[in-house]
Amino acid sequence: MANPVLVIMAAGMGSRYGGLKQIDPIGPNGQILLDYSIYDAHRAGFDRVVFIIRPELHEAFEDAIGKKARRFMQVDYAYQTLDNLPDGLTAPEGREKPLGTAHAVWCAKELTAGCPIAVINADDFYGADAFRKMYDYLSAAQDDDKFRYCMVGYQVENTLTENGTVSRGVCTADENGLLAHIIERTAIHRDADGIIRYDADGDAPAGEIAPGTPVSLNLWGFTPSFLPSLDDGLREFFAGKLPNNPMKAEYYLPFAVDALIKDGKATAKVLTTDSRWYGVTYREDKPTICAAVAAMTKNGDYPADCKKRGCLWIFLLNLLPCATSC
């Protein structure tokens, strides 16, 4: 079986944060979020990464991330563009917004053919435990009468920000730990009374989410069957939801997985973690994640004796002693 490939979705514009947040330093020595994700993923066993980006971001990503990652991982780029679609599909005229996370991952179809893949966001801090569990699952997963996928589920209370609302795939698991249902909630927050709520969204009414409920942060694991299945999913999206909102409707990964589960074609094992998620959904989130990473570094979870950004990865390989290479 081919070794699992790490697929990183980094084509988003970061509109709420205001800037290219994936390349914004958050570590005590200038490390960026992707330094930590790739460090943790490589320790878990991943040796190849595919960045999904917009073509105009290629130079910035290669300078900030790609050059260093190539020291110990195979690096490839896939490009999410509005004209990169299955044959016969055309994006609505005047559309500028990307078509969603499921389309983004589909854009890596040719680069990852025949390989199991783990999919993550570029602007989230997932933690080492999540990558270990994901790699172990994908290394053994085999489709049988169904596609056998997985996801890492975080407790909803461990994924909130004090600076606004967040979008999460809210999950329900069955007695076997398999995902029974997932629904995207786009305005989750904790109210002053401590209750976690989500706002109404279109025809869907507002509601509450119980503490401990697993949510998806787009850390998915797929066998090689998944990306080819998205051809049909994209066609259904273009025929169904997109015409109702041609400038803004998006095809999300949770929608794609949920549809396969409902059709009886797939299962998704929910791999649980008690780890806390960190991210920079809003500019005001940055001090929180900086403090958290500093604490984890002090605790020994990440190397601290380097002075230049990128030494986290050099340390990983033990290519050179930090005292002389930094």
Domain with residue 128: its CATH number is 3.90.550.10
pLDDT at 324 over 50: no
Evaluate whether residue 61 is within a structural domain: yes
Number of structural domains, the chain? 1
The answer to whether position 162 is within a domain reads no
**174 vs 136: CA distance, rounded Å:** 22
Among 63-77, 235-249, 303-317, the range with the most confident prediction by mean pLDDT is 235-249
The pTM score is 0.87
- Among candidates 126, 294, 303, 288, which has minimal Cα distance to 218? 126
Asked, for residue 95, whether it belongs to a domain, the answer is yes
φ, ψ of residue 325 in degrees (nearest 5): -100, -10
Q: What is the mean pLDDT of the chain?
A: 88
So what's the pLDDT on residue 310?
A: 47
Residue 315: is its pLDDT beyond 60? no
What number is the average pLDDT over the span 141-167? 95
The dihedrals phi and psi of 306, each to the nearest 5 degrees, come to -120, 150
57 confidence band (pLDDT: 50, 70, 90): confident
Give the whole-angstrom CA distance, residue 164 versus residue 141.
Answer: 37
pLDDT of residue 132: 97
- Within 10 A of 105 (CB to CB), how many other CB atoms are there? 27
Amino acid at 65: I
pLDDT at 306 (0 to 100) = 47
Asked whether residue 39 is domain-assigned, the answer is: yes
Confidence band for 235, pLDDT divided at 50, 70 and 90: very high
pLDDT (tens digit, 9 = 90+) per residue, 203-227? 789 999 999 999 999 899 999 999 9
| Cα angle, residue 252 at apex, residues 164 and 240 outer, rounded to 5° | 120
The residues pairing with 153 across neighbouring beta strands, listed in sequence order, are 216, 272
Band of pLDDT at residue 12, cut at 50, 70 and 90: low
189 touches 219 (CB < 8 A): no
The arithmetic mean of pLDDT across residues 217-245, rounded, is 96
Given a cut of 80, whether residue 20 has pLDDT beyond it is: no
Cα(307)–Cα(267) distance, integer angstroms: 45
Q: Where are the beta strands (DSSP E) in the chain?
A: 5-9, 48-53, 74-79, 117-121, 124-125, 147-155, 166-173, 179-190, 196-198, 207-208, 214-222, 266-273, 278-279
130 falls within a domain: yes
State the CB neighbour count (10 A cutoff) for residue 4: 27
* The pLDDT of residue 19 is above 60: no
User: Does some domain include residue 179?
Assistant: no
234-268 core/surface letters (b: 16 or more CB in 10 A; e: else): beebbeeebeeeeeebbbbbbbbbbbbbeeeebbb
Whether 200 is covered by a domain: the verdict is no
Name the more confident of 76 and 186: 76
What proportion of the chain, given as a percentage, has pLDDT over 70? 89
Give the type of residue at 291.
A
- Top pLDDT among 324 and 229 is at 229
Q: Which residues span the domain enclosing 117?
A: 5-152+214-325
| Structural domain includes residue 191 | no
